[in-house]
Every structure is written in structure tokens, then in C-alpha cells.
Structure 1
Amino acid sequence: MLRSETTGQPDRTAAALKGLRLYQQADRTAAPVPMPVLARAGRASVRDYGGAGPAILFVPSLINPPDVLDIDGERSLLRWLATRGVRPLLIDWGSPDAAENDLTVAGHIETMLLPLIDAIGEPVALVGYCLGGTMAIAAAALRPVTALALIATPWRFGDYPDSTRDALADLWRTAEPATATLGVLPMEILQAAFWRLDPERTVTKYEAHGSRDPDDPQSQAFVRLEDWANDGPPLTRGAARELFLDLFAGDRPGKGTWRVAGTIIDPAKLAMPVLEIASTTDHIVPAATTPGVGERIDLALGHVGMIVGGRAKTNLWEPLSLWLSRATSGG
């Protein structure tokens, strides 16, 4: 990918490799201490971030750890929200074991997400991020949640560019034999898939990192975020198969044929307040692929930048906080 993106530009190649080397050799700072566990369902758990007010359950993607919502002391959406009149809760999906090889995305909703909602013991609003938003839509159709906010949530998978869907189909054809042997799809393969969605940005961000002082706070923030992006448990084979074949290739959600717990999930039928936050510059979840329901906020921020970037607090955190306060108070 580096050769392809920097052909005939040896200075760029060298700069990107320098940035990669600095990332690999960087000193690591400790991540925030995980918050207490409120409830468990199998390997999944709910972390309680405290705060006084309505319970807001954040549903992260199955891909990458949930820590992007609590990346460090300066960029933690959840710790900030705990000071804003709500009680943020965060699902941690844990790491699958061999007995779960066939567990699908829908199966995660049925055996983990829904039981965790039930175990909280009070009405909750849901906030889903990325694939977690797709899963949160299903949960909101199956449980009486008070409100639903969706951040960079794919639903109309048929509206991804053909080049993206073709590349992901090719990736699955290549990776599927390994999943049959391992029972899981390793994170390394998933990360390669994300690189292919936006290769230019992948290269340029390492070029930029190569020019920074390692002691610069911006450099340290980059390392922390890249560690998150390159980390995470594998996907079960069943979830990977459903993601690549039923969602990306088959567009079952967008076609109205995706079933969870025996029910076809239709976001247009949701009765609670819904907020949709989409990005006009996101290559991982393009704005055209989001559900198109409820109130909408469009941001010109990247898929991860909208959560932890320098403009995240003003553009996403604050509007989300205001909407949650209004939606959960009935106002």
C-alpha cells in the first residue's frame, strides 16, 4: 500500500517509514483505569462511569476495543459526560473463546446486548458508534429504550462505493479459509481492511507523525490512538461471515431483510427520539450509508476524529450532551 500511494515520491516513502519507526519505538503511557463493572452477560460487561442522571448505555463496535470513548484523561467522552447530568455506561464485549466460533453479529445482540440492557435495572438510552450503532438499532427495536443516538452508523451497506465492497469481498475470500481453521477473524486482517478503505490517509498520517517531536503531546496522542486502532480481540467466525456476506455484500439491513431475535429490524419504525450523527468526510462509514432516520447532525470530521479529535468536544460531545438531556427528560 505504501508503494502504491508514494510511487515516484521517495521523499514521501521515507517520511512515512520514519513515522512508522517513531510510532513503533515510542514510550507508552498508561491507559485510564477501567471503571467498575455494573453488569455481565457472558464475556460482555457494562462499565459504570458514574454521574447523576439518566442512564446512557454506549454500544461500541465489535471491532477494536471500546476505549476510543475513554482514550485518555483529556479526550474521554464518557468521563466528560459523567459531569454533564447523565450516567454514562459502556459495553465491553470481551474476547471470544472457541465455544463462540459461530456466534453472529445478531447473536451478540441476542445473547449479550439485550441481556445487559435488562440487567441494568432502569430505563436506558442507547448511543451506538460504528457497527455498535447498527447493533443498537436492533436493540432499540426489541427493547423499550428511552432514546437512541447513532454515531457514524452504517445501515445501507449497498450505498458503499462498489470499489469498497469489491475490496472487502476479495478480503473475505482470502481470509475465509483462515477463519475456518482458527474459528475467528484476527484483528490484523480487520485493520488491513480499514487501511484499504482510506489508504491515502493511512500513509499521510504516518508522514505527519515522522515530523513531530516524540515528546510533543500531539505525538503522544497519536501513539495512544494508533495503539487503540491496532488492538482488539478477533471477531468470531460467525460475526465475520455475517459482516462480510450478509451486511456488506448482501445489504440485508438496507434491504429490510436483517433479522435479530426473529424480528426484521426497521429503523423507520422506531418510536423513541433518534439522533443521527454522520460525517461528510468519513471513508469508513460514508454519510450515504447511514440509516437516515430522526434528527441529523452532519460533521466534516473523520470517523475517529469526531470522537477524539481537537474539534470533537465542540462539534460532537456538546451537541450530543444537549440532545441526550432533552431526549431523556421528555423535553
Structure 2
Amino acid sequence: MAVEIAARLRATIRGLEIWQAHPYRRAVDEPPALWAEGAARLLDYGATPEARDPAGPPVLVIPSLINRAYVLDLRPGRSLLRWLAARGARPLLLDWGAPGPAERAFDLEAYGTERVLPALEIARRLGGGGPVAVLGYCMGGTLSAAVAARRPDLVARLVTIGAPWHFASTEGISGGFRAILRAQGPARLEAMLEAMGQAFGAVPVSLFQMLFAFVNPIQAAVKFQRLARLDPASVEAMDFVALEDWLADGVPMTAPAARDLLVDWQIRDLVAAGQWPFLGAPVDAGAIRAPALIVAGRNDTIAPPPLADPLARAIPRARLIRPATGHVGMVVGSHAPARVWRPVGAFLAGRPA
């Protein structure tokens, strides 16, 4: 056993060394920004070389606030946005950026009114003034569903990928962690987040990295052992490094938004209860009138089925698909084009998958 432990430790260290020394650097030409406010930009993927129709039907894409938006445009061959653009859609990515002075006091309500609604209005103008499709990934999917519920007049179609909704589950390590925090009471976590905001201007990236590590404590060791077994010059190794670079390139979150996410969502479970206020009133998923496609990965550990599936049950016209993929794998994995991108593209175009 000692020999095996030592071998795996060496493989983990070797994988880390390969990652740190790998020559890959992301070199992707960003599309032009149609609008910018504070740290946020609205990037037009209809203007990329891959786009089939630069004036195609707009799709407002809302990513997570926790990680960089470019996971949806990671690198050639691993870009959901360019794939959609090549099939006639006009993806408009709301890139939140890293929060600066303009966003320091933003909670999720402010992000909705000051960032999402203006971006949605631009998408509507480009589409002729009517409702448009909205696609959200991770907590951006939760925000997208909230927009569709609060402003059903603005959303023609809704897609969420890996969007958490119901946080009651205590399954697994992350569920147990939620249970511990609930037992201690939300006030302690609120005070900690407020102190971080005052000390650092925002909640540091390291807090969220620590929380993700709680979900699967041995994941880092296993994945770097896998890299050690790959040819560093292979496409698989390049994909690994690109994704790992993205994971390491996190952004802080404003203290009020972190409080909404970690206390009101995770601890109080206000979203599924219909008590979370957004765009001026509590969110009721039953008010969503747009056709909806909910993509919930069977192997997702960030938004596992007990957290993601209830959104599909709460929306009157929702269709649920459950690909055998993980959270990030749904947008950049080798099986993502067949299992996720293709049904998403068909749904947005109004075709059967």
C-alpha cells in the first residue's frame, strides 16, 4: 500500500509539473463588444469567422459569476458559442468580467437590473424587438430561469445547462457541508462574507476554490495523475491544460452577490421555495411561459440531479435531458457536441433534437 501511495503521489506531482511547464497558451480572438458597462461586456459571436449568419437570431448567453465566461469559448473545437454561430445562431455572451468599483455593492438583483436587462434589450433590438432566446450555464442558468420567470414577455426560449435550483439535498460531501452550515445558522456565514468584502473589496477566489474542493476532495490528485499518463503534445493534453488554466483563472465575487449565492440559495434554499427576490419580486418558475430545455448532467457534482432536475419540474413547458457528463464536461467535454450542443442547437432553432 505504501508503494502504491508513493507511486500515485509521484504521478500527481509529475502531472502538476507538466501542466505548469506546458507551452499551451489560450490564443483566441475575441469577437467585438456591442456594449460595455463597468466590468461587463456583451460579445457578439455573430461577428466571428465561424458565424454562418451574422444577423441570425440572437441568443443571450449568461454564464456563471464565479468563473470566467470564456469556458464557453475555450479554444478551437471546444467552443459552444462558435459551434452555435456556425449553425446560424447569433450568440451574445454577457461576459461579467472581474467586479470593479462599479460593481462592488452589487447583489444579484443589481446584476439583473444593471447588467442582464440592458444586455437583453440589446439582443431584442438586434432580433427585431420581440422576445429572444436565453441560454444560461451554471448559476447563469439559474439567473436565466429567473429572468424568464420575472419577464416572460422578453424570453422566447430558455436553455439552462447545469443550473442549480433546489438546494435541500444533503447527499454527498457538498450536501453535508450545506447541512453543517444550516445547523450553525446563516448569520455566521453572512458575517464572514461581509468581513471579506470589507477587507478585500470582494469575496476572494480562494473561498470558492475551497468550496469546489469540498465537493470532490481527491479529484485534483486523480486528474493530474491522468495528465501524467498523456503525451504532452497530444490534443487530450492540450485540452486538459486549457481547462485547468481556466479553472485557475477565477474571479472574485462581490460580497452581496456571494451572500445571495451561499446564504439565500445554498443555505436558506429560497430559490426553489419561490421566495428569492429578483427583478423586483420573488421568482416563481411556474410563471415561465417560454419553451424550456433543462440540461442536467448525470455525473455533475457541482449541480447534481437533486439540485438541477427540480427546475424542469417547476417549469410548465420544460423538457429535461440528462446526458452522461459532468458539470464542465457539458460545455467543453469530448462528448459535449453530441450529447449537449446538438440538442441545444436543435431546440434553439425550433427543431426536434
Report the equivalent of 1:75: 78
Amino acid across the alignment from 1:312: A
**Secondary structure class of the residue paired with 1:285:** coil
Report the equivalent of 2:349: 325
Residue 134 in structure 1 maps to residue 142 in structure 2: yes
Contact 1:64 1:230 in 2 (8 A): no
Q: Distance in 1 between matches of 2:323 and 2:122?
A: 34
Q: Give the C-alpha shift of residue 80 in structure 1.
A: 1.1
Deviating more after overlay: 121-130 vs 295-304: 121-130
Alignment of 1:92-131 (within 5 A): 92-120=95-123, 121=125, 122=127, 123-131=131-139
**Secondary structure class of the residue paired with 2:120:** helix
Contact 1:175 1:185 in 2 (8 A): no
Q: Distance in 2 between matches of 1:77 and 1:117?
A: 20
Note closer, same or farther for the CA distance 1:19–1:174 as it changes in structure 2 (3 Å cut): farther
Report the equivalent of 1:3: none
Amino acid across the alignment from 1:148: L
Q: Aligned to 2:275, which of 257, 261, 273?
A: 257
Q: Give the C-alpha shift of residue 165 in structure 1.
A: 1.4
Contact 2:60 2:119 in 1 (8 A): no
Residue 191 in structure 1 maps to residue 209 in structure 2: yes
Q: Give the C-alpha shift of residue 58 in structure 1.
A: 0.8
Deviating more after overlay: 254-263 vs 24-33: 24-33
Alignment of 1:78-89 (within 5 A): 78-89=81-92
Note closer, same or farther for the CA distance 1:113–1:229 as it changes in structure 2 (3 Å cut): same
Amino acid across the alignment from 2:346: L
Q: Give the C-alpha shift of residue 141 in structure 1.
A: 2.2
Q: Aligned to 1:38, which of 34, 40, 47?
A: 34
Q: Distance in 1 between matches of 2:75 and 2:159?
A: 23
Note closer, same or farther for the CA distance 1:241–1:277 as it changes in structure 2 (3 Å cut): same
Q: Give the C-alpha shift of residue 140 in structure 1.
A: 1.4
Amino acid across the alignment from 2:287: K
Q: Give the C-alpha shift of residue 94 in structure 1.
A: 1.6
Post-superposition CA distance 1:102-121 (Å, at most 9, x none)? 31122211211011111231
Q: Distance in 2 between matches of 1:168 and 1:326?
A: 43
Q: Give the C-alpha shift of residue 167 in structure 1.
A: 6.7
Q: Structure 1 unaligned runs (5+)? A: 1-5
Q: Aligned to 2:242, which of 224, 230, 247?
A: 224
Report the equivalent of 1:288: 306
Contact 1:160 1:288 in 2 (8 A): no
Amino acid across the alignment from 1:81: L
Residue 165 in structure 1 maps to residue 193 in structure 2: no
Post-superposition CA distance 1:102-149 (Å, at most 9, x none)? 311222112110111112313320000000011111211233211100
Post-superposition CA distance 1:247-294 (Å, at most 9, x none)? 101111011100112211111220111110001111100111121230
Note closer, same or farther for the CA distance 1:113–1:325 as it changes in structure 2 (3 Å cut): same
Q: Aligned to 1:152, which of 141, 157, 162?
A: 162
Contact 1:126 1:147 in 2 (8 A): yes
**Secondary structure class of the residue paired with 1:299:** coil
Q: TM-score, normalised by structure 1?
A: 0.91
Q: Distance in 1 between matches of 2:238 and 2:191?
A: 35
**Secondary structure class of the residue paired with 2:61:** strand
Note closer, same or farther for the CA distance 1:128–1:181 as it changes in structure 2 (3 Å cut): same
Q: Structure 2 unaligned runs (5+)? A: none
Contact 1:188 1:230 in 2 (8 A): no
Percent of pairs identical after alignment? 35
Post-superposition CA distance 1:227-258 (Å, at most 9, x none)? 11111321011111111111101111011100
**Secondary structure class of the residue paired with 2:155:** coil
Residue 297 in structure 1 maps to residue 321 in structure 2: yes
Contact 1:168 1:244 in 2 (8 A): no
Report the equivalent of 1:203: 221
Amino acid across the alignment from 2:133: A
Q: Distance in 2 between matches of 1:157 and 1:319?
A: 27
Deviating more after overlay: 188-197 vs 167-176: 167-176
Q: Distance in 2 between matches of 1:262 and 1:65?
A: 27
Residue 213 in structure 1 maps to residue 267 in structure 2: no
Amino acid across the alignment from 1:30: R
Contact 2:108 2:256 in 1 (8 A): yes
**Secondary structure class of the residue paired with 2:156:** coil
Contact 2:170 2:179 in 1 (8 A): no
Q: TM-score, normalised by structure 2?
A: 0.85
Residue 178 in structure 1 maps to residue 178 in structure 2: no
**Secondary structure class of the residue paired with 1:222:** helix
